[in-house]
């Protein structure tokens, strides 16, 4: 059996300058990692170094600074590609998961008609709902949902995927339920029906080793800022056979092979999808973030965060008057959504903030799921590899305190 390297959390925490600060006079306990992760010094340094020593535009300059920036930007494509077992030309830099999915909905939408349907699930983030809703409105296609069961897992026995399904787009890990969806199984169903299979990896790529060939995905979208990188840099992976055939959706500099007064021809992939000056330092810093993650080891990260989530689940289940959403164990990771019965989640989050604990409260950009769960909003504690069991203990104690305040 493969040996998993243990993480030295104390040492790791020293790499994240933000974690040592006090908030409201208390040690910061950052449990909002599903919204965005914190950044290690290595990533902050990569951004600073770019601006201090080789800030320059890419792909255009003949001078040395421009050449260095271009080289680093190209290397970033390569680094991301290797990280998910793809090829360099299959990596398109976008702003975030949202933009990656919108790009797909626009570009793939050209081939969708009113006879077709698009399948998503009831546990999607708005980013993987609205682009498809809009596509269906434009084309007259039908938007269908794979339902979730009581445990918060997908009901794969009764999927609405059929011969008219052109696109199946699902979250790998739910940002509300923490459920890890069986993407390979769904890929199989999609491909049997000749549908394209898209995975929203926003909550999986930061935690799980994602191999695009292994999960047989046609497209994968994810965000740099949830995996130690800066905001404003995201990724769209696409199989090159599809990307080559697809039309770009943004037009301008950097994406052409020729332009005349009347017409234009496109550059090769990925440039044809990366119009305009890109987020150069974002891409370079994302490459740095990936180096950091790889140095720890994705298996070690996944194992540590899964253990911590299991521990947190046990601690939260010990509380009275709490509703926890999603599977209690097994195929889940990294986050727990809950409600303290009779207390509004915003009040819970506000009182936790006074204890230095950052959690999220609200609809989590998943309003259709909230409807299915029969609630308006939830609290969410989400973990990364720099969180500790002591922090989870403090969260549980603080939640008891909150319950005391509202007695």
Contact between 179 and ligand PLP by CB under 6 A: the answer reads no
Answer for which of 33, 37, 70, 97 binds ligand PLP (CB under 6 A) is 97
Name which of 33 and 165 has its Cβ closer to ligand PLP: 33
Q: Which residues contact 17 (CB under 8 A, 6 or more apart)?
A: 41, 44
Selected range binding ligand PLP among 121-129, 245-253, 300-308, 346-354, rule: CB under 6 A:
121-129
Phi then psi for 376, rounded to 5 degrees?
-90, -35
Answer for which of 127, 169, 279, 309 binds ligand PLP (CB under 6 A) is 127
User: Could you tell me which of 187, 154, 280, 171 has the C-alpha nearest to residue 226?
Assistant: 171
Selected range binding ligand PLP among 7-15, 95-103, 322-330, 379-387, rule: CB under 6 A:
95-103
Contact between 402 and ligand PLP by CB under 6 A: the answer reads no
Selected range binding ligand PLP among 25-33, 46-54, 122-130, 136-144, rule: CB under 6 A:
122-130
Facing residues of 236 across strands?
A: 92, 221
Answer for which of 39, 72, 77, 125 binds ligand PLP (CB under 6 A) is 125
SS (H, E, C) 165-183: EEEEEEECECCCCCEECCH
For residues 11 to 40, the per-residue mask of contacts with ligand PLP, x marking binding by CB under 6 A and - elsewhere, is: -----------------------x------
Cα 222 → chain centroid: 5
Annotate 361-381 with DSSP letters as a single string: EE-TT-HHHHHHTT-S-EEEE
Instruction: Evaluate whether 236 touches 81 at the Cβ level (below 8 Å).
Output: no
Minimum CB distance to ligand PLP, residue 281 (Å): 17
* Cα–Cα distance, 67 to 70 (Å, whole number): 5
DSSP conformation class of 4? P
Residue 120: its H or E element: strand 117-121
Contact between 96 and ligand PLP by CB under 6 A: the answer reads yes
Q: Could you confirm whether 379 is annotated as catalytic?
A: no
Contact between 98 and ligand PLP by CB under 6 A: the answer reads yes
Contact between 382 and ligand PLP by CB under 6 A: the answer reads no
Residue 340: its H or E element: strand 335-340
* Cα–Cα distance, 358 to 276 (Å, whole number): 36
Minimum CB distance to ligand PLP, residue 217 (Å): 15
Name which of 112 and 177 has its Cβ closer to ligand PLP: 177
The pair of three-digit structure tokens given for residue 340, joined into one six-digit string: 């303290």
Name which of 190 and 365 has its Cβ closer to ligand PLP: 365
Minimum CB distance to ligand PLP, residue 354 (Å): 25
Answer for which of 70, 223, 271, 403 binds ligand PLP (CB under 6 A) is 223
* Cα–Cα distance, 20 to 38 (Å, whole number): 12
Facing residues of 119 across strands?
A: 144, 168
Contacts (CB under 6 A) with ligand PLP, residues 157-176? 171, 175
The pair of three-digit structure tokens given for residue 272, joined into one six-digit string: 């044809």
* Cα–Cα distance, 12 to 334 (Å, whole number): 18
Applying CB under 6 A, the site for ligand PLP has a residue count of 13
For residues 192 to 211, the per-residue mask of contacts with ligand PLP, x marking binding by CB under 6 A and - elsewhere, is: --------x-xx--------
Cα 351 → chain centroid: 28
Name which of 172 and 351 has its Cβ closer to ligand PLP: 172
Catalytic residue among 170, 290, 365, 396: 365
If one counts every other C-beta atom within 10 angstroms of the C-beta of residue 149, the result is 11
Minimum CB distance to ligand PLP, residue 370 (Å): 14
Name which of 58 and 198 has its Cβ closer to ligand PLP: 198
The pair of three-digit structure tokens given for residue 276, joined into one six-digit string: 């305009």
Binding residues vs ligand PLP (CB under 6 A): 34, 96-98, 125, 127-128, 171, 175, 200, 202-203, 223
Q: Which residues are catalytic?
A: 365
């Amino acid at each position: 059996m493969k040996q998993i390297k243990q993480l030295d959390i104390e040492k790791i925490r020293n790499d994240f300058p933000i974690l040592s600060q006090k908030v409201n006079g208390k040690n910061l306990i950052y449990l909002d990692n599903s919204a965005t992760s914190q950044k290690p010094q290595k990533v902050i340094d990569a951004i600073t170094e770019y601006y201090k020593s080789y800030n320059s535009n890419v792909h255009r300059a003949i001078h040395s600074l421009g050449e260095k920036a271009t080289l680093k930007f190209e290397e970033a494509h390569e680094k991301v590609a290797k990280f998910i077992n793809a090829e360099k030309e299959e990596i398109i830099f976008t702003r975030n998961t949202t933009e990656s999915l919108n790009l797909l909905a626009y570009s793939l939408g050209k081939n969708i008609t009113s006879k077709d349907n698009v399948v998503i699930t009831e546990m999607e983030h708005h980013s993987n709902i609205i682009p498809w809703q809009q596509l269906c409105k434009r084309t007259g296609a039908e938007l269908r949902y794979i339902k979730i069961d009581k445990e918060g897992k997908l009901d794969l026995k009764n999927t609405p995927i059929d011969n008219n399904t052109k696109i199946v787009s699902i979250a790998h890990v739910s940002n509300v339920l923490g459920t890890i969806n069986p993407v390979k199984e769904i890929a199989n169903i999609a491909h049997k029906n000749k549908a394209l299979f898209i995975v929203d990896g926003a909550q999986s790529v930061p935690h799980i080793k994602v191999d695009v060939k292994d999960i047989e995905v046609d497209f994968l979208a994810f965000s740099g800022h949830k995996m130690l990188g800066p905001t404003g840099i995201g990724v769209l992976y696409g199989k090159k056979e599809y990307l080559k055939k697809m039309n770009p959706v943004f037009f301008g500099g950097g994406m052409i092979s020729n332009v005349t007064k009347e017409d234009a021809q496109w550059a090769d992939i990925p440039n044809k999808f990366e119009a305009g000056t890109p987020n150069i330092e974002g891409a370079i810093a994302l490459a740095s973030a990936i180096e950091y993650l790889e140095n720890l080891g994705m298996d070690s990260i996944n194992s540590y965060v899964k253990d911590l989530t299991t521990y947190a689940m046990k601690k939260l289940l010990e509380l009275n008057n709490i509703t926890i959403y999603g599977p209690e164990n097994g195929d889940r990771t990294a986050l727990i959504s809950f409600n303290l019965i009779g207390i509004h989640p915003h009040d819970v989050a506000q009182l936790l903030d006074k204890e230095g604990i950052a959690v999220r409260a609200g609809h989590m950009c998943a309003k259709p799921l909230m409807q299915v769960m029969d609630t308006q909003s939830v609290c969410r504690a989400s973990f990364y590899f720099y969180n500790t069991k002591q922090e989870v203990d403090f969260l549980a104690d603080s939640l008891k305190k909150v319950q005391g305040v509202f007695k």
